[in-house]
Amino acid sequence: MKRLIASFILAFGLVTVAAPAADDKLSGVPMAVENPFVSRVSADLQTRFPTPESARRAGYVRYTDEDNTGAISYANRQWTSIDEAHPSQLWYDVNGRLLGADFSILQADSAAAPQKFGVDPRRWSKFPAHVHFGLVGPNGTTRYGGAGAKSYEKLQGANFQRPDASDFVKAGVVKSVKEVRFAFFFPAIWDLQIWVLPNANGAFADLNPDVKPVKGGGSS
């Protein structure tokens, strides 16, 4: 998530979900104490989730297009990573290559940045609550987007924390609930990003020079 500033223009208007700027005291390169976590997670996830299909079988659902880092994100909608084996998100490139993962902790459960996995707490970023959705696109594709709390407040009777397909009809985004493939609430979280694909910039960097976005790639 902190790889980009995600602007969602579909649905209820322009919504921006922005990560705070990276702490200039930390580079993307893991510190010595963090290397065991990086090594364990990289080996484990590449073994268990080498393809998007393996992620889907484990309950992860695709919810984005390719972003500006070349990643397509999948979430299991379980926002508390109870241990290193349970990332809340996985990301793949347009060819199905596993790139990395996000671990998360609910902000409601932790007022301060988490101290978990032997990772410096400054590597965790805060993300506000929002909604993600997928709409029927042309030729069987999916249009991905999102909306924030203020957008939902404009719809009388809509529950931000329990988005419903009918909300999109009320907003005039679609004509029928059948055009909404999914919609889910993404709560406020602390988020930790890690590249499992080797990265010259470091496992905690925002970008990986070996991953190039494909213009128009990632449609589904």
pLDDT in tens, 87-99: 999 999 999 999 9
- Lowest model confidence (mean pLDDT) among 45-54, 109-118, 139-148, 200-209: 139-148
In the structure encoding, which two tokens stand for residue 71, read together? 């990643």
Q: What is the rounded distance in angstroms from the CA atom of residue 17 to the CA atom of residue 213?
A: 20
Q: What is the spatial distance between Cα 122 and Cα 192, in angstroms, rounded to a whole number? A: 10
- pLDDT value at 60 more than 90: yes
Does residue 17 carry a pLDDT above 80? Answer: no
Cα 127 to Cα 117: distance, rounded to the nearest angstrom: 20
Q: Could you read off the pLDDT of 93-129 as tens digits, one per residue?
A: 999 999 999 999 999 999 999 999 999 999 999 999 9
Q: Residue 2: pLDDT band by 50, 70, 90 thresholds? A: very low
pLDDT classification of 212: cutoffs 50, 70, 90: very high
CA-to-CA dists, residue 100 to 80, 92, 111, 152, angstroms? 17, 7, 26, 31
> pTM value?
0.89
Average pLDDT of the segment spanning 69-86: 96
CA distances from 59 to 16, 47, 102, 161, 188 (A): 27, 16, 15, 21, 21
- Residue bearing the bigger pLDDT, 32 or 146: 32
Q: Extract the tokens encoding 101.
A: 């993962």
% of the chain beyond a pLDDT of 90: 76
- CB-based contacts of 23, cutoff 8 Å, min separation 6: 122, 123
- Residues 6-20, mean pLDDT to the nearest whole number: 54
